[in-house]
Structure 1
Amino acid sequence: MQVAGYLADKKFRRLTFDMMLAWECPAADSQPLLTVDEDATVGLEAFSRIAPAIPIISNVVISKNLFDVLTALSGGRLQYSVYEKYLVGLERAIKKLRTQSDSSLLSELRSDRREKIVELDGTVTTQPVLQHVGVSTWPGRLILTDHALYFEPLKVVSYDKAVRYDLAEELKQVIKPELTGPWGTRLFDKAVSYKSISLSEPVVMEFPELKGHSRRDYWLAIIQEVYFVHRFIRKFKIVGIGQEEALLKAVFGILRLQAVQDMNSVGPVRSESLLLFNLCDQLPGGDTILETLAKMSASKEFDRINSPRLKSGLYSTSALAIASNLGFGFGSSDHNSLSLIVGEIAVGGMTPLEKAVNESRSSYEKVVMAQQTVDGVKVEGIDTNLAVMKELLSPLVQLSMYILSLAYWDEPLKSMVFCAFFTYTIFRGWFVYAFALLPMLLAFFMVLTLWLSQGRPVVEVKVIAPPPMNAMEQLLAVQNAISQAEECIQYGNIVLLKLRALLLSISPQATVKCAILLLVMAVVLAFIPIKYMIFLSFLEAFTRYSPPRRASTERWERRLREWWFSIPAAPVALEREDDDKKRK
């Protein structure tokens, strides 16, 4: 692998594909297929074992997703014509990276960290990039390096001084999709928002296009990839060659994404699925994959320093060696005389990284299957969703209604038995065991249900669908729901303002009564054991509506309501923000 420019070599492309064929068909009688059958195709396992051996082509984490993209239109089998087209696209992406990075573009800003220009957009007048800061908007050119994002505002015939938005330092950055529109409206889902503690307000980069938002999705993914790789480096304190190789893994992922997007023979592409650090941020167990990568990086750095074999100059495949052979240097050190063992593929076995990826994929498949069931039960319309929720909560509603019936002594005999049983339990100190009994009964019910439902179809929740509503009726239902929510918020604010009035003694008589009540509660809590407190509280709650106490309870509730209504609310002053201040 010490020959430069090998991706452009047709013999190399054919050799790697034939290695995949040989992996898939190792028997002697299948060997002629490698040389005569030009229509031979390879499967996922062969691609996943051979392609990651060359880091620029693939890696262990994204190999399955890359294979799915390359075979989306060929029935899950990789054809040589598609594979060759992908490698040609990779070669073009590498040449573009080399040309941009060797140019004088942002040379003064990039020189300190030897940043490589990964992507550039906004140079074509028909596809500008718009930067929004507050109410101001500027067209310009957007540049992504392996450390930062730069925006150059467009002047009449040139570009103004570039503004840097750092992705490498810890600035609590938040990078997310954003909606934009004229005069501050949120209509078009075609922008990326960047926020950090170094900025007074978020910066929004808009990527206008006539249809869809694929251009924005691509930029969002590659910006996040650079940010995620630096977060990975900081979290695991990766230094030296390991840091440079981590950056190169992210750059290779972006180059692969560019190569795939240049191909017309593949289906739709989810950009984040082909980027290693993006994917690890989303996958179940992605943190385990990153921990494994960090351990591999640390062990390789240790071997580089301490191993006599590596000190003597023995070569093995690494991302840095690949970068050197592809014709562009990386980082601040000279690695021409030494390269690292990547260790993503082990002949005749599985590396820890492969094991972590396989476990994550298994968990991800379970998540996907669960999400399919979630998508299958989603229904449209507020009324229909309320009907489903009502049916699902019906057991709890029935239980609560039964407990309320006991509390209101609708059937005195049952209420008396219930009250006597629980008061005796609390008095003897068994209430802890009673609480422990509830999860035990739930666990027993779940195990019993599992045993009885073996081989039986899943019982569906039957819901009586409400009559269909037209658009106007649905709008009225939404308006009613909003009005009810507003009333609840108003009532909550009134409660808070009345409590504020009690604390600030706006109503002295009410404040005195409340203070006396709090003092009595404090004395009771200080001197009466907790068991008796629970006992008395339960007894008071479940006997207040019993025949002997009902009249006095209703009288005290009335007095309490009258006292509460007599408390004034604390005053509120609404101040409007100045429009000029808001614009600034």
Structure 2
Amino acid sequence: MMLAWEAPDHKTEAEVVQRTAFYGGDGTDDDDGGSIFYSSPTQMAIQVDGRRTVGPEAFAKIAPACPAVAHPITVRNLFDALTNSTGGRLHFLIYHKYLKSLDNVLRSARRISSGHKAPELDLLDGEVVLDIFGAATTQPVLQHIGTSTWPGRLTLTNHALYFEAIGVDFSYGDAVVYDLARDLKQCVKRESTGPWGAHLFDKAVMYKSSSISEPVFFEFPQFKGHSRRDYWFAIIKEVLHAHKFIRRYKLANFQKAEALSVATLGILRYRTVKEGFHILPAYFKTTLAFNLAEKLPKGDKILEALHGELKQHCSRFRGGDDLAAQSGSDELTLADPFPLSAHTLVRMGLLTLKEEYNPEERDFAAGDVQIGGTSSVQMALERSVGYSGRVEAARATLDQVKVEDIDTNVAVLKVLTKIIYLPVVVYNDANISK
């Protein structure tokens, strides 16, 4: 389908082949005797058949039709992550690698939800385990509270964080629950930590809320770098932002389930990119929908458009507008089209809803797939991304300039005032007294 969208006729196909001909090469060895079989798997995939590739437009239009594969808010960032080393063209073998990695992540999540290797936690209805880290004998998470440190296992669900301390017999104690769903003035930050409260290792996530007396630090030991900490920081923030979105628009029932399902599938895709391609997209390139909306300028418009589409999904009836007007917008009957992301999790066995829900008796509308049009979410996203370019330019300016004296300070101020379009008034000696 992506190839068909990329080249719907022979004329367009010829242009695409000409535009991407430089990818393939002739498949022969280099002059220095090196073999293509010693190149990276990505380069191998390109050399197989460089003509059968797709660009961002085709991927962004088709991929979100399957909610497990992509979401409209982050689909272009996902494309950039997958084509990071292929010049902005997606080869089928790379896409197949992504699907295979995604399948492995979904199978792992399904095994945990079914009780296989799952922590003994008292989960709520609709609570899905997103990831677990901290084996008792190899790489436990270190929890720091004040000057005290405990090794243990950390579990993240779409509602809370659970920490289970490891005992002397390598068994897990009762879980301490850190609720991410309620409005508890919660704060999550990257932090440095170490023994006796020393700030030595930049590998921790700090969590604090009004329900605990002092901040809690979760340290993720890693020999080199802090990618493991950055991953956990991002997915914890995604859960917090999802519940902030739910509280803001007072979502309930199936609307709430759909919002959490969007976050759940986004985290599983984020985990797929990390494990399959060893990439952690950050800043404006993240593949987490709620994190991206919170970071982008005018991101509130994206969330507003998402809420509008969610209301439209959950209020559309097969019987027409009269039936929709007679019922509440948050309540669904068996005749309603079911929200796409929540429907996906139910069919995968990751989410269990009320007993009256039967996926075989319900039909759902693929309203996110619009042919020849642009959804309100996509329009809001495009406007927000346009503003983000100015913000990135400002950040790059600040990163590159060294502030050494007052002349440099003045230069920085001049650049910033041009970027944010603020008028500048300069007073000379003649009018300074005025």
| TM-score range for the pair, normalised by the shorter chain length | 0.7 to 0.9
Q: 1:83 aligns with which of 88, 95, 106?
A: 95
Determine the structure 2 residue equivalent to 1:508. none
CA distance, structure 2, for counterparts of residue 338 and residue 358 of structure 1: 33
CA distance, structure 1, for counterparts of residue 380 and residue 413 of structure 2: 40
Structure richer in strand, relative to its length:
2
Give the C-alpha shift of residue 306 in structure 1. 6.0
Amino acid at match of 2:7: C
Determine the structure 2 residue equivalent to 1:365. 389
TM-score (norm 2): 0.79
- Native 8 Å contact 2:105 2:272 kept in 1: yes
Amino acid at match of 1:389: N
Determine the structure 1 residue equivalent to 2:347. 325
Q: 2:296 aligns with which of 252, 272, 283?
A: 283
CA offset digits 1:460-496 (Å, max 9, x no partner) = xxxxxxxxxxxxxxxxxxxxxxxxxxxxxxxxxxxxx
Q: Are 1:354 and 2:378 counterparts?
A: yes
Determine the structure 1 residue equivalent to 2:163. 151
Structure 1: stretches of 5+ with no match in the other structure: 1-18, 407-417, 419-584
CA distance, structure 1, for counterparts of residue 346 and residue 289 of structure 2: 21
Q: Are 1:94 and 2:116 counterparts?
A: no
Give the C-alpha shift of residue 83 in structure 1. 0.3
CA distance, structure 2, for counterparts of residue 109 and residue 38 of structure 1: 51
Give the C-alpha shift of residue 396 in structure 1. 8.8
SS of the aligned residue for 1:164 comes to strand
CA offset digits 1:331-363 (Å, max 9, x no partner) = 446251325436333111111111111111111
- Native 8 Å contact 2:164 2:172 kept in 1: yes
CA distance, structure 1, for counterparts of residue 131 and residue 353 of structure 2: 18
Moved more, 292-301 or 227-236: 292-301
CA distance, structure 2, for counterparts of residue 393 and residue 159 of structure 1: 55
Q: Are 1:128 and 2:140 counterparts?
A: yes
- Native 8 Å contact 1:320 1:335 kept in 2: no
Give the C-alpha shift of residue 189 in structure 1. 1.2
Q: Are 1:218 and 2:231 counterparts?
A: yes
Determine the structure 2 residue equivalent to 1:292. 305
Amino acid at match of 2:367: G
- Native 8 Å contact 1:53 1:344 kept in 2: yes
Q: Are 1:57 and 2:80 counterparts?
A: no
Q: 1:234 aligns with which of 224, 247, 264?
A: 247
SS of the aligned residue for 2:314 comes to helix
Determine the structure 1 residue equivalent to 2:27. none
Determine the structure 2 residue equivalent to 1:26. 8
Q: 1:388 aligns with which of 403, 408, 411?
A: 408
Determine the structure 2 residue equivalent to 1:184. 197
Amino acid at match of 2:387: S
- Native 8 Å contact 2:316 2:336 kept in 1: no
Determine the structure 2 residue equivalent to 1:67. 79
CA distance, structure 2, for counterparts of residue 392 and residue 349 of structure 1: 42
Determine the structure 2 residue equivalent to 1:175. 188
CA distance, structure 2, for counterparts of residue 193 and residue 138 of structure 1: 15
Taking structure 1 as reference, are residues 342 and 166 closer, same or farther at Cα in structure 2, changes over 3 Å only? farther
CA offset digits 1:116-142 (Å, max 9, x no partner) = 111000016332200011111000000
Once the two structures are superposed, the pairs formed by residues 415-494 of structure 1 within 5 Å of their partners are none
Taking structure 1 as reference, are residues 220 and 312 closer, same or farther at Cα in structure 2, changes over 3 Å only? closer
Moved more, 314-323 or 294-303: 314-323
> RMSD of the TM alignment (CA)?
3.1
Give the C-alpha shift of residue 393 in structure 1. 9.1
CA distance, structure 1, for counterparts of residue 5 and residue 410 of structure 2: 57
- Native 8 Å contact 2:205 2:233 kept in 1: yes
Taking structure 1 as reference, are residues 341 and 379 closer, same or farther at Cα in structure 2, changes over 3 Å only? same
Structure richer in helix, relative to its length:
1
Percent of aligned positions with the same letter in both sequences? 40
Once the two structures are superposed, the pairs formed by residues 514-553 of structure 1 within 5 Å of their partners are none
CA offset digits 1:147-179 (Å, max 9, x no partner) = 000000001231010000000111111111111
Give the C-alpha shift of residue 74 in structure 1. 0.6
CA distance, structure 2, for counterparts of residue 123 and residue 385 of structure 1: 51
Amino acid at match of 1:255: L
Q: 2:369 aligns with which of 345, 369, 383?
A: 345
CA distance, structure 2, for counterparts of residue 396 and residue 318 of structure 1: 54
CA distance, structure 1, for counterparts of residue 358 and residue 299 of structure 2: 30
SS of the aligned residue for 2:381 comes to helix
* Higher alpha-carbon Rg: 1
CA distance, structure 2, for counterparts of residue 225 and residue 332 of structure 1: 25
- Native 8 Å contact 2:101 2:272 kept in 1: yes
Determine the structure 2 residue equivalent to 1:194. 207
SS of the aligned residue for 1:109 comes to coil
CA distance, structure 2, for counterparts of residue 171 and residue 391 of structure 1: 43
Amino acid at match of 2:133: D
Taking structure 1 as reference, are residues 192 and 342 closer, same or farther at Cα in structure 2, changes over 3 Å only? farther
CA distance, structure 2, for counterparts of residue 98 and residue 20 of structure 1: 29
Equivalenced residue count is: 380
SS of the aligned residue for 2:316 comes to helix
TM-score (norm 1): 0.60
Q: Are 1:255 and 2:268 counterparts?
A: yes
Taking structure 1 as reference, are residues 22 and 305 closer, same or farther at Cα in structure 2, changes over 3 Å only? closer
CA distance, structure 2, for counterparts of residue 242 and residue 317 of structure 1: 8
Structure 2: stretches of 5+ with no match in the other structure: 18-47, 325-331, 415-423
- Native 8 Å contact 2:128 2:351 kept in 1: no
SS of the aligned residue for 1:369 comes to helix
